[in-house]
Chain A
Amino acid sequence: MGSKLIFLIVIVLGVIALAQLVRVYELSSKLRNRGEHEVTNRDNNLNGRMMVLFMLLFYAGFIWLMLTYGWTGRGDAASVHGKETDWLLDINFIIIIAVFFFTNTLLFVFSYKYIRKPGVKAFYYPHNNKLEMLWTVVPACVLAVIIILGLKSWNEVTDNAKDESIRVELFSKQFDWTARYAGDDNKLGRFDYKLTLDNNELALLTATTIDSAIHAMEFGPTGIKTLISKLNDRTIMLVPEDKEKMENDLSRKERLIRLLYQMRERHDGKVDAQAWDDIIQKDTLFLCVNKEYEFNFRSKDVLHSAFFPHFRAQMNTVPGMTTRFKFIPDVTSAEMRKRKNNDKFNYVLMCNKICGGAHYKMKMMVVVLSESEYKAWMTNKKKQTFKDAYFATAAPAAPAEAAPMAGDTLSVAKK
């Protein structure tokens, strides 16, 4: 408290001192019969020189930053299109830095050079069509080059992935990433968010997962049956807020379960295999060097953005929608560590769209392996397909039981 008081006193004294200084200054101006609207030649020249001094310091700071922190700051691009992005970025930077120095220099030097001088009148020069045409046409031509180069690169980057490119899904939620490889058939299994359960976090769609989702929604610990029995149990006193919450929960689940039943009716079991052979991978994303990847992005809750700074790749993940981005990593992690002379370096996938408190922690390490390393890793990984993992965690209820009861639970739900 004491320090705050002293702090406050210092501020008050500072303001008083400033006020006194200003008053002294004003008195002296009054003596010299000068108003505040008249800028003396001394002040004018001083500020003109300051303009040039500032410009020099500004440029020095810029050059120091460039030398110290590098051209792009994040090292060589580690993907095929990323190299082109960097090339284009360099060209654009050369153009804009030239413009930056040229125009800023004119501005600051002119504001020093053409400072008011006794006896020199300003040059009346209201317009000149040729000059104006010049600085309309020249920027337009430069921009045309920038646009053409940029769009050429953009069309290549956003073009459809080749059929043989490897499909990987990146699933985002607050606050982590999960990868899903498409498995042997290179087809990602289908999904529906309503199928999300503890043993099916990515909500993959198969006849079995539909059945267990229905079962969990009806008989699970917070399922429809439990809710109804709690709400109808006269021996339990419910706080009104809790009761309202449970009723809302119930009506929500009743709507969802109807959709699940429709989904089951329409489901074609032939596509199940696409999901069962998928491989789910957390924490680290392993990629094979020089192979094209098509990433499919999904979000469970809010917007996220999959940002791979080293591969110059970025795409938002949007709930209710699948977005895509393709690239070919062409430098292995081991190679990049050698280049950077840093054996702890890793590629990374970061979240780059504000998504909640722990946004900044939401990331996944990315490791690019050589082809042989990748094959070895994948062979091992294939022992744990979605199917293996799913049945290993043993769904609590056998789906076969749930099916015959479906009819009467639906009628309960409809009540």
Chain B
Amino acid sequence: MAAVAHEAHGHHDAHGHHDHDHGHHEESFVSKYIFSQDHKMIGKQFLMTAVFMGLVAMLLSILFRIQLAWPGESSSFLSFFLGEEWAPGGVLKEDMYLGLVTIHGTIMVFFLLTGGLSGTFSNLLIPLQLGARDMASGFLNMLSYWMFLLSSVLMLSSLFIETGPAMAGWTVYPPLSALPQAVSGSGMGMTLWLFSMAIFIASSLIGSLNYIVTVLNLRTKGMKMTRMPLTIWAFFVTAILGVLSFPVLLSAALLLIMDRLAGTSFYLSDIIVGGEMLTNHGGSPILFQHLFWFLGHPEVYIVLLPALGLSSEIISTNSRKPIFGYRAMIGSILAIGFLSFIVWGHHMFVTGMNPFLGSVFVFTTLLIAIPSAVKVFNYITTIWKGSLVLTPAMLFALGLVSTFITGGVTGIILADSALDIAIHDTYFVVAHFHIVMGMSAVFGMFGGVYHWFPKMYGKMMNLRLGYAHFWITIVGAYGVFFPMHFVGLAGAPRRYYDYSVYGEFDVDSLNMMMDLNQIITVFAIIAALGQLLFLFNFFYSIYRGPKAPQNPWNGNTLEWTTPVEHMHGNWPGELPTVHRWPYDYSKPGSDVDFIPQTVPLAEGEEEH
């Protein structure tokens, strides 16, 4: 592999010279914008697709939030988007409510936060920050994107079929997801879901392998592993997690496909559904949950680590200070990565799993709090005595640290099996993971877009709109998810279509839930409208934004040494040589407050 990569390397080198000599490299429209093998273009393709998917998922959430706040009331917004079929008279149908929840979760977790976040920034930053001409395999990289697009299209198409999209929740637990008699979405909709996810997993695997190989083999001269920016460390560990865990989800999905289409009994046993007595015997639905969460938990960190990596870079640059405890940060990324593989059972405390096994998972899960705490304190120490420049990216990164704390501490309650019994599958869980995983990862992604937009498009985004976007988003998102803790502590199960059922046994709880649900929905609508500012800023700046300088934030990493105008091969002439770690900000003895990685150590200067 190394030899092959080296050869590619050499080839690209020659290529770079060629560009340099002749100014422009001839590329057709198709090979530049569509079937591009250039990592920067592929990164942008991932971003565009993910932004679109994210918008769809956000719209779906607004649709079901309207039902939750004003159950049974006619809404022209609902009938506009869902029509008479799924919202007769403007009132959402029960089945479609579950469909919306399911597809919202699936798109957000996999398509926005896995494909979108890791796909965009791993592609853009790995070669640029390592000093490589491109990914190890440009072709596989392109393939990864096109499979991602195909799976996105399949997933979206399931919203338009007669029996509706998958309706078994984003975790698609069988038997519900295996039996079309149990819910209409488990017919064609579920089939599309499974095929879409199978392709998505293939895309993710190809991408991850490429990232790993690139990080290991294509670092430029002087770029030791311990000189890599934390972004790269985060992408690297994320890719390893993906390679080790996604195949398990694929196997879970394949077994489910076989149960549905080939009459096997992996997950089914002793079932009577829709008056029909099935002959399946001996399977176990719990098996699926083990397989699913063996991916599902590392998945949380696949989503979170890139966001933490991006924010490390952004916070350090905009504090004009080195990230505090660089090696401890790497250590905690590795520790989180390792532990994430032995905690999946904490999603299954009340499935009837052996209680002893439960206690083991309590122990391993709570251990994860230690590296997470280290990260938080290191971020806080990084901004301590800094010289903070609050760019929109910096605000989002600081927001991420806040949501990581707020959502992280409630994880301690959920990881404690004795307490989990009382709040498992309630809104407390919904609040927890939306804050710690959803908000944190989305904030990391926004921070990344604001920070690296000049690198992606050679233009600057509007600052003021960025500020407005940040404040609306943090107020709106906390306003949505914070009250959910209280709804959950009151015992409200998640995925309920209508909490009016509480009226039959506890009017006080009913009133509380209705009040809070309306507050939540209002905040959700505000937060959603705030995203339109981002969209406007994003697209307007691509076309009309002011031209970006080469190094707008005075950063140290290698991507800011490339020319503003994109070129295949990234650097005209030779690849840069690295002499120091990327965090020499405000180093004593230097006149400027940043020293790029390409600057050799001065006489007598010590490396960090």
Contact = CB atoms under 8 A, between A and B. Distances in A.
B448 interface: no
A194 B272 CA distance: 9
A139 B373 contact: yes
A287 B551 CA distance: 71
B490 A73 contact: yes
A92 B416 contact: yes
Interface in B343-392: 350-352, 355, 358-359, 362-363, 366-367, 369-370, 373-374, 376-381, 383-391
A252 B277 contact: yes
Contact of B495 (A82, A111, A312, A354): A354
Nearest to B491: A309
A333 B279 CA distance: 43
Interface string B451-469: 0001000001111110100
Interface residues of A, number: 125
Interface string A381-411: 0000000000000000000000000000000
Contacts, number: 391
B421 A312 contact: yes
Interface in A339-378: 340, 342, 344-348, 350-361, 363, 365
B94 to A, nearest CB: 4
Interface stretch (B9-17, B55-63, B194-202, B501-509): B501-509
Interface string A47-84: 11011001001100110010001001110000000100
Contacts of A358: 94
Contacts of B281: 320
Given A18-B536, A44-B389, A255 B402 contact: no
A111 to B, nearest CB: 5
B413 A127 contact: no
A296 to B, nearest CB: 11
A255 B271 CA distance: 15
Interface string A137-166: 001100100110011011101100000000
B261 to A, nearest CB: 14
A111 B465 contact: no
Interface string B21-32: 000000000000
B322 A125 contact: yes
Contacts of A120: 387
A158 B358 contact: yes
A342 B504 CA distance: 12
Q: Quick one: which of B93, B182, B383, B506 has the most chain A CB within 10 A?
A: B506
A151 B489 contact: no
Contacts of B74: none
B321 interface: yes
Given A19-B540, A43-B467, A147-B362, A106 B506 contact: no
Contact of B328 (A39, A65, A127, A350): A127
B489 A107 contact: no
Given A37-B552, A61-B482, A107 B402 contact: yes
A321 B489 contact: no
A286 interface: no
Contact of B277 (A25, A194, A310): A194
A131 interface: yes
Contacts of B422: 82, 85, 89, 309, 312-314
Contact of A106 (B324, B380, B421, B425): B380
Interface in A268-309: 297, 300-303, 305, 307, 309
Contact of B325 (A115, A127, A307): A127
Interface in B161-189: 167-169, 173, 175-176, 179, 182-183
A239 B460 CA distance: 66
Contacts of A155: 355, 359
B245 interface: no
Contacts of B384: 110, 114, 123, 125
A96 interface: yes
Contacts of A47: 390, 395, 467
B60 to A, nearest CB: 16
A22 B459 CA distance: 15
A121 B482 CA distance: 37
Interface in B449-501: 454, 460-465, 467, 471, 474-475, 478-479, 482-483, 486-487, 489-491, 493, 495-499, 501
B410 interface: yes
Contacts of B546: 26, 29-30, 35-36
Contacts of B536: 15, 18-19
A402 B506 CA distance: 51
B362 to A, nearest CB: 6
B175 to A, nearest CB: 5
Nearest to A71: B489
Contacts of B277: 193-194, 196, 252, 256
B322 A110 contact: no
Interface stretch (B147-155, B437-445, B584-592): B584-592
Closest 8 CB pairs of A and B: A320-B269, A309-B491, A73-B490, A37-B552, A323-B352, A36-B460, A158-B355, A123-B385
Given A22-B462, A22-B540, 9 more contacts: A122-B320, A123-B321, A124-B322, A125-B321, A125-B381, A136-B370, A146-B412, A151-B418, A321-B352
30 contacts: A4-B80, A36-B546, A37-B553, A58-B478, A65-B482, A69-B490, A69-B512, A97-B409, A103-B377, A108-B402, A114-B319, A114-B384, A120-B387, A121-B387, A122-B593, A124-B322, A135-B377, A154-B359, A256-B277, A301-B175, A303-B173, A312-B422, A314-B421, A314-B422, A318-B285, A319-B268, A345-B505, A348-B506, A354-B495, A355-B176
